[in-house]
Chain A
Amino acid sequence: MKCNDRVFGLLMLVLAVAYGWGATQFPEPFGGGEAIGPETFPLLLAVVLALSSLYLIVKPDPGSKWPPMRTGLELLIAVVVLIAYVLLLQPLGFIITTTLAVGTLCWRMGAAPIRAYVTGLIAGIVVYFLFTIGLDLSLPLGVLSVLEGS
């Protein structure tokens, strides 16, 4: 399993070259060339990163195993849940999205589905009121805002 470090080293080497090349493309700042410009420090970093990634490619550590497919899928689900959480926060409102997101995460981590979503709902309501009333911050209410008017 030495390829982990090799692949990572290679990627970082590409990054270092791209980053260093990017630094040479900065427009010269107003007032002309001084001893040190905006590109000096990035160039230095590019060299450091390139050298250390070369070392990794040449002398990789034995890496740790990547998770099997099934666990990988679980991880993917978690990341998708987090992204969906952000996406739906405004339209659906804080309490509903939190119930869904926290509930799904708890469930996928091994809690019984009903208990998981109840945990999510309670957490959402508690945090909502803690933030809006206790800390005077506005969290989006989303579709639940119809209740507010009554």
Chain B
Amino acid sequence: METLGYLIDGFGVALAPHNLMFALIGAFLGTLIGALPGLGPANGVAILIPLAFTLGLPPETALIMLTSVYAGAMYGGRISSILLNIPGDEPAMMTCLDGYPMAQKGKAAEALAISAIASFMGSLIATIGLILLAPLLAKFALTFGPAEYFALFVLAFATLGGITGKNPVKTILAAAIGLMIATVGIDSTGTQRYTFGVLELYEGVDFIIAIVGLFAISELLFFIESRAGGGKGPMKVNKLSLSWKEIGSIFPTTLRGGVLGFISGVLPGAGASLGSFISYTLEKKILGSKGRFGEGDPRGVAAPEAGNNGASSGALVPMLTLGVPGSGTTAVLLALLISMNITPGPMMFTQNADIVWGVIAALLVGNFLLLLLNIPLVGIFVKLLSVPPKYLLPIVTMVAFVGIYSISNSAFDLYFMVAFGVAGYILRKLEIPLVPIILGLLLGPEMEKNLGHALTLSNGDWSVLWSSGLSITLWALAIIGLVLPVVVGPILRRRMRAAQDNVE
């Protein structure tokens, strides 16, 4: 019942008027970011981090706002899947399968409303799962020594590519580059490393600059290349007519989807793509001939949306309890924590209990806000979809510049950001994933510290890294995480594509 007490305290934090206001702003901005073309959730949260700083928000408020943005972006992302058959990101692919046919039949409003309800249920179930599981995991993680932590970090990198990842070697390479950037600066012993005497590098590379550069600027360059600046024509949505009976009929589907999504969100490497995929396929199996999947069955919209949102809340479990994010967006949230001087990981549950539980409560509150926001306001978000990227992306880039400039007032940081943007563009062209680079930048110092502690305790004997049962398990999982995608990945990807093709 300890948890319940904390949770009530958490609601005290989350329901404080100014926090509630920022949660509402965050939810609105998040849906906007999700709905706007060319702005992924990780990208959007990254651009908003400097703004959270310039507003001078206290840590819990900043976190509450950005978790609401995170949740909102998941809501917003489905709009283009349903109306345009263009998934904003990989997990949204499955929503296209039945969402787009529904829209074509003139039931776009119903599809959007159903997906909002399913998203809500998925997040709600996963947040309850988070409340139950996170304290247990945090308690367990307290038994980790430095060697186990080192292995855990390796596991995080190994599984980051996810089960649908392509080339694990490129993930490793990207992780190494990120970790190498993290070693720039003055280290704990006072040694200057790779600073080349440049004063601005003494404190290391600011990861917020790196994140905004890699995501936002490279996105601009990609749009210029693909000449997709024109945008889509205006869209109309029919009037909503949804009966309680119809909502009731998708209820069991959302329950199953939410639970499955949560599990795949918590598991390292599974992630939201798998969450929505499994939920959809299972639903199709269970209902079989009773459903009309692929032709616009409401349950075909509800299942992947519940799975997708369940997974994104589930992904917060490893981020909050172990300090190890499982996705790009949670990595960006981790960046916020670190830059607010909060050390993520099990200690956070005891040292910053108010922040952790405030954020968890804010997730619940944010979900209600999103549901209330999304059903009546969906028309506004639909209109946003037709904002042409040729106006939008330059403005977004400018806001990113102003955000970074307002933190540091230094032109050097801005040049650095442009350089990261160009590098990000080239790396994406080479299909080198960017998220491991970010994660390397974030986890580098902790990883080195734990390696140092482990080796100092063992007097320099490297075998200490795999001497306990727990660390061996973690290493084994890491190896499985790297090898499995090579074997299973192509099959899964083919199936997802096959399902997609069937519709078209």
Q: From known contacts A49-B180, A102-B395, A123-B398, infer whether A89 and B230 are also in contact, taking CB-CB under 8 Å.
A: no
Task: List residues of chain B with CB within 8 A of the CB of A64.
Answer: 429-431
Contact assessment for A90 and B54 in the assembled complex, using a CB-CB cutoff below 8 Å: no
Say yes or no: A108-B451 contact (C-beta < 8 A), given A127-B402, A137-B54.
no
Selected from A26, A36, A61, A101, the residue in CB contact (under 8 A) with B456 is A36
Q: Is B169 located at the chain interface by the 8 A CB criterion?
A: yes
Which of A34, A61, A127 makes the CB contact (< 8 A) with B398?
A127
Is B224's beta carbon under 8 Å from chain A? yes
Q: Which of A4, A12, A40, A120 contacts B394 (CB 8 A)?
A: A120
Alpha-carbon separation in the docked complex, A106 to B388 (Å): 10
Contact A45:B399 (CB < 8 A) given known A35-B460, A71-B224: no
Closest to A78 in B: B224
Q: Does B18 contact A (CB under 8 A)?
A: no
Given contacts A36-B451, A49-B173, A90-B411, contact A22 B402 (CB under 8 A): no
- A52 x B189 contact (CB < 8 A): no
Q: What residues of chain B lie closer than 8 Å to A34, measured between beta carbons?
A: 456
CB-CB under 8 A from A109, the residues of chain B are: 223-224, 227, 229, 389-390, 393-394
Chain A proximity mask over B143-182: 1 for CB below 8 Å, otherwise 0: 0000000000000000000000011011011001101100
Are A135 and B54 closer than 8 Å at their CB atoms?
A: yes
Give min CB distance, B486 to chain A, whole Å. 12
Q: State in angstroms the CA–CA spacing of A52 and B250 once bound together.
A: 47
- Of B40-48, B71-79, B84-92, B190-198, the stretch lying at the interface with chain A is B190-198
Which residues on the A side are within 8 Å of B391 (C-beta)?
106, 111, 116, 119
Contact B187 A38 (CB under 8 A): yes
| Interchain CA distance A50-B401 in the complex, whole Å | 35
**Contact with B191, one of A38, A87, A110 (Cβ below 8 angstroms):** A38
Give the chain A neighbours of B388 by CB distance below 8 A.
111
For residue A94, which residue of chain B has the nearest CB? B402
Query: In the complex, how many angstroms separate the beta carbon of B145 from the nearest chain A beta carbon?
Result: 16
Does the CB pair B399–A78 fall under 8 Å?
Answer: no
In the complex, what's the smallest C-beta–C-beta distance from A56 to chain B, in angstroms? Answer: 6
- Which of chain B's residues has its CB closest to A137's CB? B406
Beta-carbon contact of B224 and A131 below 8 Å? no
Q: Are B431 and A108 within 8 A (Cβ)?
A: no
B87 to chain A, nearest CB (A): 20
Let me know if B180 and A45 touch, CB within 8 A. Answer: yes
A82-B217 contact in complex given A26-B193, A30-B189, A45-B180, C-beta closer than 8 Å: yes
List residues of A (1-56) whose CB comes within 8 Å of B's CBs: 4-5, 8, 12, 19, 22-23, 26-27, 29-30, 34-38, 40-42, 44-45, 48-49, 52-53, 55-56
A106 to B398, CA, bound (A): 12
Whether the Cβ atoms of A42 and B193 lie closer than 8 Å is yes
* A83 interfacial by beta-carbon distance below 8 Å: yes
Can you name the residue of chain A whose Cβ is closest to the Cβ of B444?
A: A41
Task: Check B180–A56 contact: CB distance below 8 A.
Answer: no
The answer to whether B430 and A63 touch across the interface, beta carbons within 8 angstroms, is: yes
Please judge, given known A-B contacts A98-B398, A106-B394, A109-B393, whether A63 and B176 are in contact too, CB under 8 Å.
no
Contact count band on B: 35 or more
Q: Which of A19, A52, A135 contacts B169 (CB 8 A)?
A: A52
- B187 and A105 within 8 A (CB): no
Say yes or no: A40-B193 contact (C-beta < 8 A), given A86-B411, A101-B398, A106-B391: no
Residues on A with beta carbons closer than 8 Å to the beta carbon of B455: 35-36, 40
Interface size on A, residues (CB 8 A): 64
- Chain B residues with CB under 8 Å of A85's CB are 401
Q: Do residues A36 and B460 form an inter-chain contact, with CB atoms below 8 A?
A: yes
Residues of A within 8 A of B194 (CB): 19, 22
**Quick one: given A38-B189, A131-B406, are A110 and B229 in contact (CB under 8 Å)?**
yes
Q: Does A79 contact B (CB under 8 A)?
A: yes
Question: Do the beta carbons of A61 and B411 come within 8 Å of each other?
Answer: no
The answer to whether A41 touches B448 (Cβ under 8 A) is yes
Chain A residues, CB < 8 A from B170: 52, 56, 61
- Which parts of A96-142 form the interface with B (CB within 8 Å)? 98, 101-102, 105-106, 108-111, 116, 119-120, 123-124, 127, 131, 135, 137, 139
| A71: nearest chain-B partner, CB-CB | B225
Chain A residues closer than 8 Å to B422, beta-carbon distance: 79
CB-nearest residue of chain A to B223: A109
Q: A42-B183, A74-B224, A110-B229 are in contact. Are A135 and B55 (CB under 8 A)?
A: yes
* B405 within 8 A of partner (CB): yes
Q: Given A86-B415, A123-B398, list of 15 further CB < 8 A pairs?
A: A4-B429, A30-B189, A40-B451, A48-B176, A49-B173, A52-B173, A52-B176, A61-B170, A82-B401, A89-B414, A102-B398, A109-B394, A110-B229, A111-B229, A135-B406
User: Residues of B at under 8 Å CB distance from A?
Assistant: 54-55, 166-167, 169-170, 172-173, 176-177, 179-180, 183, 187, 189-191, 193-194, 217, 220-221, 223-225, 227, 229-230, 388-391, 393-395, 397-399, 401-402, 405-406, 411, 414-415, 418, 421-422, 425, 429-432, 447-448, 451-452, 455-456, 458-460
Chain A to chain B: the 6 pairs with minimum beta-carbon distance, closest first = A35-B460, A105-B394, A109-B390, A109-B229, A29-B189, A38-B191
Q: List the interface of chain A (C-beta within 8 A of B).
A: 4-5, 8, 12, 19, 22-23, 26-27, 29-30, 34-38, 40-42, 44-45, 48-49, 52-53, 55-56, 61, 63-64, 66-67, 71, 74-75, 78-79, 82-83, 85-87, 89-90, 94, 98, 101-102, 105-106, 108-111, 116, 119-120, 123-124, 127, 131, 135, 137, 139
- Can you list 16 pairs linking A and B with CB atoms under 8 Å apart? A35-B455, A40-B455, A41-B448, A44-B451, A45-B183, A52-B170, A63-B429, A75-B225, A78-B221, A82-B421, A86-B418, A89-B411, A105-B394, A105-B397, A111-B390, A137-B406
